[in-house]
Structure 1
Amino acid sequence: MARSPSPADVYASQHRGSADDYASYFAGMDASMQQKVALTTAHFPTRGRVADMGSGSGRGTYDLACLYQGLELVGVDINPVTVDMAGQTWRRPNLRFVAGDIADPVFPPESLDGVLDSSVLHHVTSFNDFSLARLETCLDNQVRALRTGGVIIIRDFVIPDGPEHVWLDLPETDGAAEGEVPALSTAALFERFARDFRCGVHRTGPVPHTRHASPHPGHARYRLTLRAANEFILRKDYREHWDVELLEEYTYFSQGQFEEAFRSRGLRILSSMPIRNPWILANRYEGRFHLSDLEGRPLPFPPTNYLIVGEKVPPGAGVVLREEHGEPLTTPRFLSLSTWRHEASGQLYELVERPGRTLDVLPWFQEDGQVFVLAKKGFPRPIVNACADRPHLGGATLSGYITEPLAAITQVGEAPARALARILHERAGLGPERLLEVGEPVRYFTSPGGVNERVSAYLVRVAPASGPEKNAALPAPDYGPFTSAGSVRELDARQVLRACHVGGMVDARLELNIHRLLRRLGASPGPWIGAPLVFPIQAEAPPRAPDALTPARRAPFSVHEEGATGYLEPRTGTFSERAADGRVLASVPREYLVPREAGRDTAVALPVVRTAEGYWVGLEHRELPAVQHFTGSAGLVVVPAWRLPRAFTHPGEVPALIAERLREEFGLTARRAWELGGSYHTTPGVTPELVWPFAVEVEASTAREARLRWLPLSALLEGLDTVADAHLLVVAWRLAHALGVLG
């Protein structure tokens, strides 16, 4: 008689082996599941218990459980039949499924390290008569179940920001005017939608709208609310189960309402960002409709999704850092401003610097084939929220607490070995017995056009924690003026990179150090999950520049004593740390730097040409006083970059500016630009500058005469150790990752 397989046998049959095996498994997931996993696991702990609310079939919960053996995943679904099927289908020692209404108290208080609500909370409102009160109760119960330090992540839809009423122009000629839903034109489908859709705004009647003649041939024009337009846009391509789609109200909170809901419950927001899925934009939005305000000005596409991440802090702790008052600073006390003159051209450059040397330290270890790093999580960086009158592109907001390496400013004269040991002990609780190996540093400039700073970055191999420390975050010593300096936590190196691909992590220096670590270990970074890049092959290759990575050694700058140019504006701001109830816990002055007239954001654009032999990239040689100050020579290899005007409000506006600047400054003709992963900060201790990276396909025929140095991407990757511009490092790593040439 055959023996039935034991649970252990079943578990063993589904175990996938090493971390690289799991990376291959991850690559086989569909894009939406990859994004879900990346956005969530970069913020969840690697050990403890996480609840996946609304787990459905259980596949997504299983995918999460596969990544971490030390993390218990509990899938929760209201349907007991679904729960039973999920439990029979997906089995792992660290995975279980339970039946329950996610809006009810499924778990005891303080029993979870993470809660995931992925595309599920709109069901709570939709199937409870669009009750926001039921949603509020749901959030209360879920936050109550979190331990202090636990994380709740919501990935759902969001009421878009913008004008209340809009014009929506929809094609009439792409289908029938009447009949079954699959055959209807988009305009006819909208009229069916307007007749039958119900939501919290209009529970009993049709969607208010008026029809007008459209200025776009073959289209009908509708005047309606932006929220209603978005509800239709989000579901217009899901016709097979149209009647079911109409039962659900996708949008229930605005971004501001989500953030208030988190902060009022004692959650510190680690990330709050609208998501625009590049595949959906390219295949379902572009060319499929026109959206404009009532003056006829085109509006950006609404977000396809929204992500908010909150960390539960102790009662009375700070949840947000805000600038209460800011003003120009004539005589900085902490920062110093200098002006440099280029002797040949007479051009003046302004630089700001803070005292001491900047060190980045990334402790790391390997366990069960996976690579983990220790990083500061929830570290207060109030300057990222400076100058609210110059908002960042894309609608992303931060609480002011971010995840970053163990960064520190050291004084000149302190030996590096001593500084490293001190920083690791003081800021991560790592004693000398856990320090196994200190790697050679690399040095790069964070924002060399305006910040006189060069970072020395060290990789430090440490022994993994053991005993009680193994499952707990280590509170960082309170070495600043705010109530907390966050915590030091283990993070999965690959998942951090994936979060950077889709905007879920904003510190570029953490990303750069992880790429360098994985390269040193010969470990694959896993799949790219940002926007897919597709470059057609061009017949002509750009001319290769032998000196592409070796700029001329010159020292053309001298200190200019006659005053500043006025381009940079040192400012001082008073930043308050507020608790969930609005109480001010600390009020701290900070000096920082912004351009006087331009916006806070920067665009960097790496020109790319693909030939039958491979990919080519175009680099710029610049002479900058910050580089001369540190190295004695001003030459630096950089990626083309430009400050963006204050008038820019959306990333979709940037490619046109990039194309114009590449044409005017370098003689290049741009074909297409792709966002190369999420935006990032390089110097959040000095400036609120947020950088938007792009890869730009250019006409090879225009590259020959362009004022750029061209070389194969493979040659750039081989020479990355000589690159000292942080922005070029970011886009080079990301481009290679996106094209699958990192291994």
Structure 2
Amino acid sequence: MVQAAKNSRESALSEMDKNLIQDRAAELGEERYALLKGIPQETIRNAWFTLSHLLLADGAHVIDMGSDDGAMTFAMSVLNPNIKITGIDKNKRQINKAKELYKRHNLDYMVGDVTGYMLEKNSFDAIINSFVLHEVYSTSRYNRRAVIDTMQEQFKLLKPGGTMFIRDYASPPPEEMVVIEMPDVPSLGENITDMSEPDLLIWYSEHARPRSDPGTGGFFLEELPARFPRTRLFRLPHKWAYEFLLRKDDRKKWETELQVEYTFYTDHDFRRQLRTLGARLQYSAPYWDEEFTKKHFEGRFRLYSDSGRLLGSPPTSYIAVAQKMSERKSLHIEERRPSLRKKESTIKISSMRNDKTGEIADIVSRNMEIGEILPYLITEDGRLKIFLHDGVARSVVNAMPRSGYNIDGKRWSGHMLEPVSFDMAAIADIGAFDVKNTALFARDHLGLKPSNNAILEHGMDYYPSPDYIDERIRTYFLRVESTQREISPKTALGYNARFQARGVIREIEAQHVLNAIAVGLVPNGRLEMQILSLYQHLGLKAENWTQKDIALKRGKITAKADIRVLL
């Protein structure tokens, strides 16, 4: 629940500043449109999706491994002109073509292997592996060790704190069997393009994995009696059902793609191997592309577990974001069980009765009032940047479940990105929000220097869960000067004393944080609302890449509520 502050000024920017920023944003939008006009929308979308998982500082150097024709690499250089991107591919012809077609001040291409052996170690801020690692696996005659070696060499290229982005496919458990049901449509011929899907599946079961030793290719497939008229039913390993469903409609590339195997690691394998490299696995999750699912999966087949349970559409890819950490830095934080040690807690649980319904509920409260602040600045080219606390240890994100099932498969390391928090008693101590008191507050609690004549600005108030949590979190904004570096947090509010991880305060572009929230990298809905509130407070507008049409329906009013009761 959100409550807007009544005493906030309409905008912290002058009309002149606001117009300059909006004009600059319009110019950048027109420039971006002109540059990307000839690039397919799917490529642009993939470029945005990839960059949204990388919260990069200005000047960061990114390597796009296996850049192919260079189109997505180019699109990323346009979407974020403040970083440098190098596309690497072993195909010399593709690289030369990319160099001719795509020229940008922050973009270059080079011929090379995806291991990056020819590059300088500890020199790059991010490495992108977008549908590359399964190619490494396939060209090495389906050798998982080749993938491990590739990731190991790539990690040597990253600076400490650098990020590796992986987008590929995660294999179902290798021993798991499934049943697939498809329409019984007759084939038009014996060519791949003329086969029905059931006949193509049978052909695929006999010819899969052609790079294997003679006599070891293919996979188990059993046709079962049909359950319904005009259908066919097959039992096979889940991995190979997934392989077939991903490729069945791409008949033009079938022959060349036959030797490529998309899945090689399970989700568990990916996470284990990355942690073996000393990586903090910030985020991992299966991903469902809505358009691909609708076009190739929905209504085309039914997939069942071996026990007969109906399964949903398989993921269209798998995402992993791993950060290279220095020695003795935490990789994963989880909460396994309540501590048995007696200790003082800031949390209090009280039972309260609803006067009207008689229902009793447990209400959670704590012995302090929390405030959160978004320090911000506007760059010369009109971008809104904010300062956030990165790496806050939140074990509750990985609390050990007592029952249930992780329905979306998303996992985080437990190191969160949050606004800078403080005890509201600090606000009471400073008295009036004037320039002098604001500067003292920023020095003592933020370690930042306010801009000229800047004062604390009250933003929205947030009620996490009015029915069960007796808490109001106040939000404040403060315009500050750029630091060009990470700084240590001044206070330890909200930390668990058992964790040594304290994180850092980073300067990040606000739009990039919104994008990261949209793709799931940052699981913080409150932060999203706070940033959008800041945009509104400044009279600016954020981009929205995930906008969908909402079907609104009219309905008759059946009852009226008293607004005083709701509040």
| Pair in the same fold by TM > 0.5 | yes
2: CA distance, partners of 1:462 / 1:501:
26
Question: Secondary structure at 2:564's aligned position in 1?
Answer: coil
Aligned residues: 530
Q: 1:256 to 1:493 in 2, by over 3 A?
A: same
Paired position in structure 2 for 1:21: 30
Paired position in structure 1 for 2:219: 207
Q: How big is each residue's C-alpha offset from its partner over 1:417-446, in whole Å with a ceiling of 9 and x where there is no partner?
A: 599767754665313467835332211211
Q: State the TM-score, normalized to the length of structure 2.
A: 0.85
Report if aligned partners of 2:32, 2:78 keep a CA contact under 8 Å in 1: no
1:450 is the counterpart of 2:468: yes
Which of 383, 401, 419 is the aligned partner of 1:388? 401
Question: Secondary structure at 1:320's aligned position in 2?
Answer: coil
1: CA distance, partners of 2:450 / 2:477:
15
Paired position in structure 2 for 1:405: 419
1:129 is the counterpart of 2:141: yes
Which of 508, 515, 525 is the aligned partner of 1:498? 515
Question: Secondary structure at 2:323's aligned position in 1?
Answer: strand
Q: 1:354 to 1:443 in 2, by over 3 A?
A: same
1: CA distance, partners of 2:212 / 2:422:
50
1:150 corresponds to which letter in structure 2?
Answer: G
Structure 2: unaligned runs, 5 residues or longer: 1-23
Paired position in structure 2 for 1:681: none
Deviation at 1:240, TM superposition (A): 1.4
Q: 1:117 to 1:458 in 2, by over 3 A?
A: same
Q: State the TM-score, normalized to the length of structure 1.
A: 0.66
Which of 535, 552, 567 is the aligned partner of 1:518? 535
2:399 corresponds to which letter in structure 1?
Answer: A
2: CA distance, partners of 1:199 / 1:379:
48
1: CA distance, partners of 2:474 / 2:76:
35
Q: How does 1:210-609 map to 2 (within 5 A)?
A: 210-326=222-338, 333-367=345-379, 368-390=381-403, 391-411=405-425, 413-415=428-430, 424-425=442-443, 428-432=446-450, 436-465=454-483, 470=484, 472-476=485-489, 479=492, 480=495, 481=497, 482-529=499-546, 532-533=548-549, 535=551, 540=554, 542-543=556-557, 552-553=563-564
Q: How big is each residue's C-alpha offset from its partner over 1:575-630, in whole Å with a ceiling of 9 and x where there is no partner?
A: xxxxxxxxxxxxxxxxxxxxxxxxxxxxxxxxxxxxxxxxxxxxxxxxxxxxxxxx
Which of 63, 78, 84 is the aligned partner of 2:90? 78
Q: 1:206 to 1:282 in 2, by over 3 A?
A: same
1: CA distance, partners of 2:289 / 2:64:
22
Question: Secondary structure at 1:151's aligned position in 2?
Answer: strand
1:94 corresponds to which letter in structure 2?
Answer: N
Report if aligned partners of 1:166, 1:294 keep a CA contact under 8 Å in 2: yes
Paired position in structure 2 for 1:57: 69
Which of 202, 206, 227 is the aligned partner of 1:195? 206
Q: 1:330 to 1:238 in 2, by over 3 A?
A: farther
Deviation at 1:366, TM superposition (A): 2.1
2: CA distance, partners of 1:263 / 1:285:
33
1:377 corresponds to which letter in structure 2?
Answer: D
2: CA distance, partners of 1:216 / 1:489:
59
1:457 corresponds to which letter in structure 2?
Answer: T
1:188 corresponds to which letter in structure 2?
Answer: D
Paired position in structure 2 for 1:644: none
Report if aligned partners of 1:114, 1:150 keep a CA contact under 8 Å in 2: yes
Question: Secondary structure at 1:393's aligned position in 2?
Answer: coil
Structure 1: unaligned runs, 5 residues or longer: 1-14, 555-634, 637-743
Give the alignment's Cα RMSD to 1 decimal. 3.2
Report if aligned partners of 2:369, 2:473 keep a CA contact under 8 Å in 1: yes
1:101 is the counterpart of 2:113: yes
Q: How big is each residue's C-alpha offset from its partner over 1:687-737, in whole Å with a ceiling of 9 and x where there is no partner?
A: xxxxxxxxxxxxxxxxxxxxxxxxxxxxxxxxxxxxxxxxxxxxxxxxxxx
1: CA distance, partners of 2:356 / 2:25:
63
2:395 corresponds to which letter in structure 1?
Answer: P
Deviation at 1:181, TM superposition (A): 2.0
Deviation at 1:159, TM superposition (A): 1.2
Report if aligned partners of 1:39, 1:499 keep a CA contact under 8 Å in 2: no
2:374 corresponds to which letter in structure 1?
Answer: L
Question: Secondary structure at 2:145's aligned position in 1?
Answer: helix
2: CA distance, partners of 1:362 / 1:72:
28
Which of 134, 150, 169 is the aligned partner of 2:162? 150
Report if aligned partners of 2:116, 2:157 keep a CA contact under 8 Å in 1: no
Q: 1:165 to 1:326 in 2, by over 3 A?
A: farther
Deviation at 1:247, TM superposition (A): 1.9
Q: How big is each residue's C-alpha offset from its partner over 1:464-510, in whole Å with a ceiling of 9 and x where there is no partner?
A: 33xxxx2x444546844323222222323223223333323211122
Question: Secondary structure at 2:357's aligned position in 1?
Answer: coil
Q: How big is each residue's C-alpha offset from its partner over 1:627-669, in whole Å with a ceiling of 9 and x where there is no partner?
A: xxxxxxxx34xxxxxxxxxxxxxxxxxxxxxxxxxxxxxxxxx
1: CA distance, partners of 2:406 / 2:182:
31
Deviation at 1:309, TM superposition (A): 0.8
2:352 corresponds to which letter in structure 1?
Answer: W
Deviation at 1:377, TM superposition (A): 2.1
Report if aligned partners of 2:365, 2:471 keep a CA contact under 8 Å in 1: yes
2: CA distance, partners of 1:384 / 1:295:
32
Q: 1:423 to 1:312 in 2, by over 3 A?
A: farther
2: CA distance, partners of 1:356 / 1:131:
56
2: CA distance, partners of 1:435 / 1:138:
53
Report if aligned partners of 2:180, 2:303 keep a CA contact under 8 Å in 1: yes
Q: How big is each residue's C-alpha offset from its partner over 1:14-69, in whole Å with a ceiling of 9 and x where there is no partner?
A: x9984443675779862464244234344231322111111111111111112333
Q: 1:451 to 1:17 in 2, by over 3 A?
A: closer
2: CA distance, partners of 1:60 / 1:294:
40
Give the share of equivalent positions with the same residue, in percent. 25
Q: How does 1:165-176 map to 2 (within 5 A)?
A: 165-173=177-185, 176=187
2: CA distance, partners of 1:329 / 1:544:
53
Report if aligned partners of 2:210, 2:258 keep a CA contact under 8 Å in 1: no
1:495 corresponds to which letter in structure 2?
Answer: H
1: CA distance, partners of 2:467 / 2:341:
20
Report if aligned partners of 1:158, 1:253 keep a CA contact under 8 Å in 2: yes
Report if aligned partners of 2:46, 2:72 keep a CA contact under 8 Å in 1: no
More RCO (CA 8 Å, sep 6+): 2
Report if aligned partners of 2:68, 2:94 keep a CA contact under 8 Å in 1: yes
Report if aligned partners of 2:280, 2:323 keep a CA contact under 8 Å in 1: yes
2: CA distance, partners of 1:421 / 1:39:
38
Question: Secondary structure at 2:412's aligned position in 1?
Answer: coil
1:378 corresponds to which letter in structure 2?
Answer: G
1:112 is the counterpart of 2:159: no
2:502 corresponds to which letter in structure 1?
Answer: A
Deviation at 1:339, TM superposition (A): 1.7
Question: Secondary structure at 1:170's aligned position in 2?
Answer: strand
